[in-house]
Structure 1
Amino acid sequence: MSLVIQPSVFDFFKKLEKNNNRDWFNDHKKEFKAKEGEVKEFYNAVLNQLNTHDEIDKLKIFRIYRDVRFSKNKLPYKTHFGGSFHRAKPRLRGGYYLHIQPNNESFIATGFWDPAKEDLLRIRKEFEMDDSEIRDIIEEKSFKAVWSELVGDEVKTAPKGFSKTHKAIDLIKKKQFLFVKKYSDKEVLDAQFLENISHAFKIIRPYFDYMSDVLTTDLNGVSVID
């Protein structure tokens, strides 16, 4: 099993960036398939690491083909690998993502990309009622050393039904609740990259534990799942 990302993966994508067309890709498809196989082994190694400290029920590695139907960018191929790791729902919420791309564009991400309407309201209500616990988690020194700031799209002022002067409005107005950690090409190719990813994902757990508790109980703390 491949536990290291090889430089040839980045080399292939750099060539694809300059030749992003079907003829070139078809001529080099055998090379791509070899790189894809190597990287899939790495993603599965990440999955195995995650399952030592979490419960992952699915790994999804995204295809290289771009959906260009509604995009101004008509280039047919992605120039990166991407894969998501789904936690065992409904008890465990949140997810992990690993993005491998040359030119120092690689990153990992965790959190809540597109919460359902009901989940988004529940999260906001929790922050409105008491934002102290979530702030303690995301402001903790070792947590911030790895994940820095909470990011994500947000409304301009306040969601309907919430006061724009509420002390937790910075959290309440978010529509996404994400943490992102970027990596240089050198870091991705390092032999410790797998271990570094696993460590970063392990550090996020207090945040996931908190959000999972919020999303599986009502405002009175009563479970909403069987």
Structure 2
Amino acid sequence: MAFTGFSTEGIEFYEQLAADNSKVFWHDNKHRFVEHVKEPMLALTDELADFGPFHMFRPHNDLRFSKNKPPYKTHQGAYGELEAGSGYYMQFSSEGLMVGTGYYSMAKDQLKRFRDLIDAGATGDELAGIVAAMRKKNFNVTAIDELKTAPRGYPKDHPRVELLRMKGCLAAKQFGAPQWIHTKEAAKRIREMWEGAKPLTDWLDSHVGPSTAPPTDRPF
């Protein structure tokens, strides 16, 4: 199945799911999820397979450790990771398309390398320059988790304290729902975003790289 875009029906499905996140609604509308969300996302992962292989996240929330979550996610995500270390993420929801790339959650050994490199003059300045340049091009360079202050052992007034506080490092763009997400051009725009973020992912892959810690020691 070739990727031809995400339909307006997919956006409407998620809008309605947000209003009625119940097993009854899901049972009655699962066929819409399959047709307008799951199948297009599978086709998109095939189209962008050189950034994968991709893992598609389940539509159900894990309720074992939280009773306050709704039973179903109001977005569909897919994640791929290359051998060099960088991850590639795309997400479709009622708000449209969001795309990201980088190191989402670093293991302890990665985080130590990352902070040592930021603290060092040359590599730290290089990363700070990359981040500043990408932000000027409207990339959101951030982390999904960060400390409130400098990590232990680093001064609170460190010149690159913003980067030191990060527990990961990624570039993201929220595209929203322009007309082109309903066409095959969406795959092209995602690819362009990932390729545009190469200064960051190349730095991370060259200097930080994949974790060598045992899987049980990793934060994911």
User: So what's the TM-score if we normalise by structure 1?
Assistant: 0.81
Contact 2:151 2:164 in 1 (8 A): yes
Q: Secondary structure at the match of 2:178?
A: helix
Q: What is the match of residue 42 of structure 2?
A: 40
Question: Is 1:214 aligned with 2:207?
Answer: yes
Question: Distance in 2 between the 1:168 and 1:96 partners?
Answer: 25
Question: Distance in 2 between the 1:79 and 1:184 partners?
Answer: 15
Paired residue type of 1:43:
T
Alpha-carbon deviation of 1:190? Answer: 5.0
Counting matched residue pairs gives 205
Bigger CA drift: 184-193 or 199-208? 184-193
Contact 1:59 1:86 in 2 (8 A): yes
Q: What is the match of residue 61 of structure 1?
A: 56
Equivalent position to 1:81, from 59, 66, 76: 76
Q: What is the match of residue 168 of structure 1?
A: 160
Residues 42-89 of structure 1 show CA distances to partners (whole Å, capped at 9, x for unaligned) of: 2322x24xx2xxxx342001111111222243421112111111112x
* Structure 1 residue ranges, 4+ long, deviating more than 6 angstroms after superposition: none
**Which sections of structure 1, spanning at least 5 residues, go unmatched?**
218-226
Residues 100-128 of structure 1 show CA distances to partners (whole Å, capped at 9, x for unaligned) of: 011x2531122222100111011000011
Question: Is 1:119 aligned with 2:103?
Answer: no
- Aligned identity (percent) is 25
- Cα distance, 1:190–1:173 mapped onto 2, change above 3 Å: same
Alpha-carbon deviation of 1:152? Answer: 4.1
User: So what's the TM-score if we normalise by structure 2?
Assistant: 0.83
Contact 2:100 2:171 in 1 (8 A): yes
